[in-house]
């Protein structure tokens, strides 16, 4: 239903949303979306994922009023730390009542997008829609054309905030049959270090569509730890793209946790555009029933002496379907590249399936790159051993599943997030032990 989005574009532009320079960007993006349309399974990047449930549906654009009806309790979504500075968006719009920006460290500035393009115009114009490409990406083009709200995080040179910034996106029943186009921008200047938690959750089980783009610029010597938690409604649709540009000696650490939504697609792309920089991309996806979860990663080594590490794990039950496509691309100039990529999957049902495709494209001579994927079921030898020690088969199966997940969860450096996700995973797979 591309016509509905084209009509919505006319309304957005007519309302003058954003600065004048953004209108040209919006026009370019909507023209690109109109040309591309929604991707089909003939598109190589979408070969195993059908977006027909999104393309064939009519989602209304969520108005600001949908976020003003009440103030729900956000405490369960704050990882036990209500003191962390946060921006909270309810049904795609900023909720000042739920947000908290007191206690921001010196050198960190956090604003909603709708305020940032007025208060930080030079920064926003320099980076917004400059990092995430939409030339061949339908959902990114749609988001760029219709972006309505989101967060802008700026970490000044050499700043190292002690507390993370939490960007929380909540949806409730007022989002039913609605679509939110959220746009985030993170800029970490030279030598800075920060942690950004970006989480998506729902109150109840409404049906809605979240289309998200997050852009990041990690300057020379900077480090950004980005934790992404997707626990949307089981009836929701979630498509997101995180695209990063890295400078010399920088480090981008990413963890993606995905367990919600009827259909979700998470794209994480980074370009190592400075010598000596590195990227660490880890993730865990857990689905059951008829859920569909798709992760796409791309690490582009554009300069020499860079490293990348990637570990994604998936647990699939019921009739769920998982997709993992990870690409490491090494340009001719990127000599002395060191890259390692692993995808491991555990199938708990005969009806669950995974399509995994780790890839290497190398155009340099002096490199060290490896990649691999595994698909299996709970180890029968381990099950037999635990049963012989008096543990029931079902509990043994759940404990083995949790141990499989815990291996990658332990890579999360932010302890409160790691502990809560571990507790959530343990309760899901081993409730008796929990």
User: Once rounded to an integer, what is the mean pLDDT over residues 126-131?
Assistant: 96
For the record, the structure tokens of 355 come out as: 């399509």
Instruction: Report residue 144: phi and psi, to 5°.
Output: -65, -40
Q: Which residues contact 198 (CB under 8 A, 6 or more apart)?
A: 167, 169, 184, 214, 226, 227, 228, 229
What's residue 389's pLDDT? 77
User: Once rounded to an integer, what is the mean pLDDT over residues 82-111?
Assistant: 93
- The pTM for the full model equals 0.94
283-319 per-position pLDDT tens digit: 999 999 999 999 999 999 999 999 999 999 999 999 9
CB 189 within 8 A of CB 217: no
For the record, the structure tokens of 357 come out as: 């495709």
Query: Which residues of 205-262 form beta strands (DSSP E)?
Result: 209-218, 223-231, 237-246, 251-258
For the record, the structure tokens of 289 come out as: 């029933």
The pLDDT-based confidence of 3 (bands split at 50, 70, 90) is confident
Instruction: Report how far residue 146's alpha carbon sits from residue 359's, in angstroms, rounded to the nearest whole number.
Output: 33
CB 56 within 8 A of CB 169: no
Mean pLDDT taken over the chain: 92
The pLDDT-based confidence of 431 (bands split at 50, 70, 90) is low
Residues forming a β-bridge with 154: 109, 187
User: Once rounded to an integer, what is the mean pLDDT over residues 173-190?
Assistant: 96
Q: Is the pLDDT of residue 107 over 60?
A: yes
Instruction: Report how far residue 268's alpha carbon sits from residue 256's, in angstroms, rounded to the nearest whole number.
Output: 9
Q: Is the pLDDT of residue 7 over 90?
A: no
203-256 per-position pLDDT tens digit: 999 999 999 999 999 999 999 999 999 999 999 999 999 999 999 999 999 999
SS3 at position 280: strand
Residue owning tokens 């709708």: 114
What's residue 1's pLDDT? 60
CB 429 within 8 A of CB 409: no
Instruction: Report how far residue 110's alpha carbon sits from residue 100's, in angstroms, rounded to the nearest whole number.
Output: 10
Q: Is the pLDDT of residue 434 over 50?
A: no
User: Once rounded to an integer, what is the mean pLDDT over residues 122-139?
Assistant: 95
Q: Is the pLDDT of residue 430 over 60?
A: no
Q: Is the pLDDT of residue 55 over 50?
A: yes
Task: Enter the DSSP assignment of 46.
Answer: G
Please state which of the ranges 11-25, 121-135, 157-171, 344-358 shows the lowest mean pLDDT: 11-25
Strand pairing report for 263-272 and 237-246: parallel
CB 307 within 8 A of CB 281: no
160-179 per-position pLDDT tens digit: 999 999 999 999 999 999 99
What's residue 64's pLDDT? 66
Q: Which residues contact 63 (CB under 8 A, 6 or more apart)?
A: none
User: Once rounded to an integer, what is the mean pLDDT over residues 3-27?
Assistant: 82
357-390: b or e for each residue (b if 16 or more CB lie within 10 Å)? Answer: ebeeebebeebebebebebeebeeeebeebeeee
């Amino acid at each position: 239903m591309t016509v509905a989005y084209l009509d919505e574009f006319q309304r957005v532009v007519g309302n003058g949303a954003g600065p004048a320079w953004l209108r040209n960007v919006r026009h370019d993006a909507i023209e690109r979306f109109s040309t591309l349309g929604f991707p089909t399974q003939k598109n190589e990047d979408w070969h195993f994922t059908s977006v027909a449930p999104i393309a064939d549906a009519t989602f209304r654009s969520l108005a600001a009023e949908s976020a003003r009806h009440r103030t729900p309790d956000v405490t369960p979504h704050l990882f036990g730390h209500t003191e962390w500075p946060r921006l909270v968006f309810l049904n795609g719009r900023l909720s000042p009542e739920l947000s908290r920006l007191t206690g921001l460290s010196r050198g960190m500035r956090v604003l909603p997008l709708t305020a940032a393009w007025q208060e930080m115009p030079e920064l926003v114009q320099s980076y917004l829609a400059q990092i995430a490409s939409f030339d061949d990406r339908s959902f990114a083009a749609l988001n760029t054309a219709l972006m309505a709200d989101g967060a802008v995080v700026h970490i000044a040179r050499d700043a190292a905030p002690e507390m993370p910034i939490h960007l929380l996106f909540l949806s409730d029943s007022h989002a039913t049959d609605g679509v939110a186009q959220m746009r985030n921008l993170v800029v970490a200047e030279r030598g800075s270090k920060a942690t950004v938690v970006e989480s998506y959750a729902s109150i109840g089980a409404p049906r809605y569509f979240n289309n998200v783009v997050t852009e990041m610029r990690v300057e020379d010597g900077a480090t950004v730890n980005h934790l992404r938690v997707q626990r949307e409604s089981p009836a929701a649709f979630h498509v997101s793209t995180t695209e990063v540009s890295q400078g010399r000696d920088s480090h981008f650490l990413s963890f993606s946790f995905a367990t919600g939504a009827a259909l979700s697609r998470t794209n994480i792309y980074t370009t190592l555009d400075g010598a000596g920089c590195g990227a660490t991309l880890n993730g865990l996806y857990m689905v059951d029933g008829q859920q569909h979860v798709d992760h796409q990663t791309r690490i582009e080594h554009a300069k020499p002496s860079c490293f990348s590490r990637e570990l994604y794990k998936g647990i699939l039950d019921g009739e769920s379907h998982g997709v993992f496509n990870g690409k490491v691309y090494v340009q001719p100039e990127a000599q002395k590249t060191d890259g390692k990529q692993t995808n491991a999957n555990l199938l708990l049902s005969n009806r669950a399936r995974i399509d995994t495709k780790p890839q290497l494209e190398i155009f340099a001579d002096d490199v060290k790159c490896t990649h691999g994927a595994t698909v299996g079921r709970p180890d029968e030898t381990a099950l037999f051993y635990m049963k012989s020690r008096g543990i029931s088969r079902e509990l043994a199966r759940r404990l083995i599943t949790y141990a499989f997940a815990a291996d990658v969860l332990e890579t999360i450096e932010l302890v409160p997030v790691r502990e809560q996700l571990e507790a959530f995973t343990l309760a899901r797979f081993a409730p008796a032990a929990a």
